Amino acid sequence: MKAIVIGGGIGGLTAAAALKGKGWTVRVLERAPTLEPVGSGLAMMPNALRALDTLGVGDRVRALATFAGDGGVRRPDGGWLNRTSAEAAAARFGDPTVVMPRSVLVDLLRALLDPADVRLGVTVESASPDGTVATAAGEERADLVVAADGIGSRVRSSLFPGHPGPRYTGLTAWRLLAADPDRTGAFSETWGRGLVFGVNPIADGRVYCYATAPAPAGTTAPDERRELLRHFGSWHDPIPELLDRADPAGILRNDIYFMPRPLPAFHRDRLVLLGDAAHPMTPNLGQGACQAIEDAVTLAEAVTSGGGTAAYTAARLDRTTKIMAMSHRVSRLTRPVNPLATAVRDAGMWTVGRLGPDLVLRQAAAAIDWRPPA
């Protein structure tokens, strides 16, 4: 059986590795000329680690875990709104959350494939439900076509031409890696008036930081670090110091989109959608890459065990729809800029925090308590 995977991101590479592990011949078509390190960091939560276990690389990711002690959500002055114990979360879910450079995960996944399995610099012009994929070099047929071509998926648009596409949330996001030789950055997320800044230490002595702020769609700044300092330079330590250490050339900025209405299905005949192409979501739960990885191993099991692409939709549509909605609700909580609305939100979060970390973990369980299909 032959599969063509459109897109060489996390979801596409995982799908190719999972299918290859089931005996499929795979071909990844990626329009970028190289798979150079793109992006900064990402979170692998316990549900994603269990999926990676099916590929034999889960323990190599676990070895990169650095979360320890208490973290949680803070105010811009540094006061805590609620606290979460990394150890308690790992005990509850059976695994840690691992924040790691995206490039490390790409390397692990690509190592599961043969060099000939990945074709770079190839732009897919169209993909059909009958398994035909057209590129500038001609047409190619496969038993399965996996469209992992991202939030702006052309395949999704052609498969469901009347369906409303992703909508801008009104928020832009920055991602960066900063040196942290003194390990000053405990894991935390700080909420201000319409602003968010996250700090997550990673295993190589750096910190993965992310931030969101309201902005018109498509806005950029000549100096993105200066723009971040304008928003966050007066916030609590170590945020200003981490921004000072960041390489301006390594700061990524992207607008945040979400899918207001879920797709009716993730498949049509031999063609399936995967990851952001199927269910674009806001980053607030840290589940974007995790859900793409879940998609990939579920798909490989469905099409190999006889359930086919319809079984893939049945297994994934309801779950990803709920997680999209959960993530969007959290995103909306971060957006108020009115001082009164922000104070009411913070009071609610403080109250939840006083009720104990168990409540926070129970709320996270809907996303994290997942097991790969047997």
DSSP string, 208-244: EEEEEEE--TT---S-HHHHHHHHHTTSSTTHHHHHH
CA distance 42 to 278: 19
Between CA 108 and CA 48 the distance in angstroms is: 14
- H-type helices in the chain, by residue range? 10-21, 46-53, 58-62, 86-93, 102-110, 154-159, 224-232, 239-245, 288-305, 308-333, 339-354, 357-368
Strand partners, 14: none
N- to C-terminal Cα distance for the chain? 21
The whole-number pLDDT of residue 280 equals: 97
Other CB atoms closer than 10 Å to residue 179's CB: what's the count?
14
Reported pTM: 0.95
Check residue 184 and give its pLDDT.
57
Mean pLDDT of 132-156: 97
Tokens, residue 130: 């009958």
Structure tokens given for 333: 């909580």
Q: How confident is the model at residue 362 (pLDDT cuts 50, 70, 90)?
A: confident
What was the pLDDT predicted at 191? 97
- The region of weakest confidence among 24-38, 120-134, 158-172, 312-326 is 24-38
Nearest partner of 145 among 20, 294, 273, 330, judged by Cα: 273
Cβ burial, residue 50 (10 Å; 0-12/13-18/19+): buried
Rounded to an integer, what distance in angstroms lies between the CA atom of residue 289 and that of residue 98?
A: 12
CB 275 within 8 A of CB 228: no
- Of the candidates 31, 48, 105, the residue with the CA atom closest to the CA atom of residue 286: 48
* Tens-digit pLDDT profile for residues 7-49: 999 999 999 999 999 999 999 999 999 886 666 899 999 999 9
pLDDT in the model for residue 183: 67
Helix (H) or strand (E) segment spanning residue 44: strand 41-44
Tokens at 97, concatenated: 């959350």
Plot region of 261 (φ>0 → left; ψ -120 to 50 → alpha; else → beta): beta
With H, G, I as helix, E, B as strand and everything else as coil, classify residue 165. coil
Q: Which residue has the higher pLDDT, 205 or 216?
A: 216
What pLDDT shows up at residue 68? 66
Written as six digits, the tokens of 240 are: 């200003």
- Write out the H or E segment, with its range, that includes residue 254: strand 252-258
The contacts of residue 148 (CB under 8 Å, 6+ apart) are 5, 6, 7, 9, 11, 12, 15, 273, 274, 275, 277, 292
